[in-house]
């Protein structure tokens, strides 16, 4: 191996960007991906780092448990479709300072640029998910998933209602995201406010929907994070198709709460009881709206 693209973690990161593009989730510069590197991965990449790193840049957010960490990040404004063709100009590796409040670019973005505008949100989500998973979480991924976005125009913007609908869209969904999915109302993207609002959801869930915008997921590996994004988006797609088929009438039948509990038991997963105890589906919520 004589360049950074022979390093396994870089190849896996680039492949995940390609996989997301293939799904149609990354129009133009839509979406972004960050990965918290293991120390040995940093050492594998270090020989290819810039001789002189970039300037330290304050992030407007701070995390004690990410001091001195290294992240691979997509560049702001860069097209994910270009990552596999021109990785050195589309992605970067950043180092976090010892105060945990600033980054500097140590590799990549050779034609200039900075990490994703959502870096404050990714960074704070990494902090929360690292803590909640005792260090296992490494990936934060944001995509513009069309069916999830479409559903935010239709369903009440409540985590319990979305989760119940998505769990009931296909039998194995509740096994893939037993903790449920959070929902963040519409907010201006790219700043500290949306970072804080998303973190509040990521304290409880490992995925959060951004109304009229897309989906944020986390995971210990590229496969698990991508699989979570894929499963939630597919569940939303099935929901959209079923709701369209009825022409606005209630669904004739669905997976019941008891069915969900049975699956949880058989598959040995701990389901979010708050979601089951909520007991109201989208149609019950609508009944109130139209009273």
Of 198 and 272, which CB lies nearer to ligand 13P in the complex structure? 198
* 215 vs 143: CA distance, rounded Å: 6
Which residue of 23, 76, 82, 97 would you call a contact of ligand 13P, by CB under 6 A? Answer: 76
Nearest residue (CB) to ligand 13P, 62 versus 76: 76
Tokens of 196: 């804080």
d(CA 48, CA 275): 47
If the CB atoms of residues 30 and 146 are measured against ligand 13P, the closer one turns out to be 30
| Shorter beta-carbon distance to ligand 13P: residue 199 or 263 | 199
Per CB under 6 A, 146 contacts ligand 13P: no
- 248 Cβ contact partners less than 8 Å away, ≥ 6 residues apart: none
Residues 23-42 that bind ligand 13P (CB under 6 A): 29-32
Should residue 118 be labelled a site residue for ligand 13P when binding is judged by CB under 6 A? yes
Q: Apex CA 93: angle with CA 91 and CA 99, to 5°?
A: 135
Look up residue 3 and give its two tokens.
Answer: 């360049």
Q: Could you give the 3-state DSSP secondary structure of residue 7?
A: coil
Residues 174-193 contacting ligand 13P, CB under 6 A:
189-190
In the complex, the smallest distance separating the C-beta of residue 123 from ligand 13P, rounded to whole angstroms, is 13
CB 130 within 8 A of CB 66: yes
Contact between 117 and ligand 13P by CB under 6 A: the answer reads: yes
Residue from 44, 69, 118, 233 carrying the catalytic annotation: 118
**Residue 82 makes contact with ligand 13P by CB under 6 A:** no
- The footprint of ligand 13P on this chain (CB under 6 A) covers a number of residues equal to 13
Q: Of 60, 77, 185, 279, which lies in the binding site for ligand 13P, with binding defined by CB under 6 A? A: 77
Window 207 to 246, contacts with ligand 13P (CB under 6 A): none
Active site residue 285: no
Closest approach of ligand 13P to the CB of residue 76, in Å: 3
Edge-first strand order for the sheet with 32-36 is: 57-58, 102-108, 91-96, 70-74, 32-36, 139-143, 214-219, 207-210, 182-184
Could you say which of 34, 116, 163, 218 contacts ligand 13P (CB under 6 A)? 116
Q: Residue with structure tokens 């960074």?
A: 123
Please identify, using beta-carbon distances, which residue of 78 and 263 lies nearer to ligand 13P. 78
Q: Can you tell me the distance from the alpha carbon of 230 to that of 232, in angstroms, rounded to the nearest whole number?
A: 6
Closest by CA position to 166, among listed 103, 243, 65: 243
Does 125 help bind ligand 13P (rule: CB under 6 A)?
Answer: no
Pick 130 or 213: Cβ nearer ligand 13P:
213
* Paired residues of 207 in beta bridges: 217
- Tell me how far the alpha carbon of residue 186 is from its chain's centroid: 16
Catalytic residues: 118
Residues that bind ligand 13P (CB under 6 A): 29-32, 74, 76-77, 116-118, 142, 189-190
């Amino acid at each position: 191996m004589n360049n950074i693209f022979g390093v396994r973690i870089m190849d896996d990161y680039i492949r995940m960007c390609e996989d997301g593009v293939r799904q149609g989730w990354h129009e133009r510069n839509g979406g972004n991906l960050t990965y918290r590197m293991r120390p040995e991965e940093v050492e594998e990449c270090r020989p290819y780092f810039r001789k002189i790193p970039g300037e330290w840049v304050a992030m407007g957010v701070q995390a004690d448990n990410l001091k001195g960490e290294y992240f691979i990040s997509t560049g702001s404004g860069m097209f994910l479709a270009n990552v596999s063709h021109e990785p050195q100009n589309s992605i970067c590796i950043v180092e976090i300072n010892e105060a945990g409040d600033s980054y500097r670019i140590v590799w990549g973005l050779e034609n200039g640029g900075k990490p994703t505008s959502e870096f404050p949100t990714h960074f704070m989500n990494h902090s929360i998910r690292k803590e909640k998973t005792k260090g296992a979480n490494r990936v934060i991924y944001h995509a513009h998933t069309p069916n999830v976005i479409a559903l935010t125009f239709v369903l009440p913007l409540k985590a319990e209602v979305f989760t119940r609908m998505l769990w009931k869209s296909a039998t194995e969904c509740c096994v893939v995201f037993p903790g449920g999915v959070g929902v963040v109302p519409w907010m201006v993207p790219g700043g500290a406010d949306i970072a804080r609002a998303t973190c509040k959801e990521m304290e409880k869930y490992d995925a959060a929907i951004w109304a009229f915008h897309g989906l944020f997921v986390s995971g210990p590996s590229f496969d698990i994070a991508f699989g979570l994004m894929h499963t939630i988006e597919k569940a939303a797609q099935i929901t959209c198709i079923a709701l369209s088929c009825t022409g606005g009438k209630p669904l004739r039948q669905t997976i019941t709460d008891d069915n969900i509990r049975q699956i949880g038991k058989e598959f040995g997963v701990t389901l979010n009881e708050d979601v089951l105890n909520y007991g109201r589906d989208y149609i019950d919520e609508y009944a109130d709206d139209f009273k």
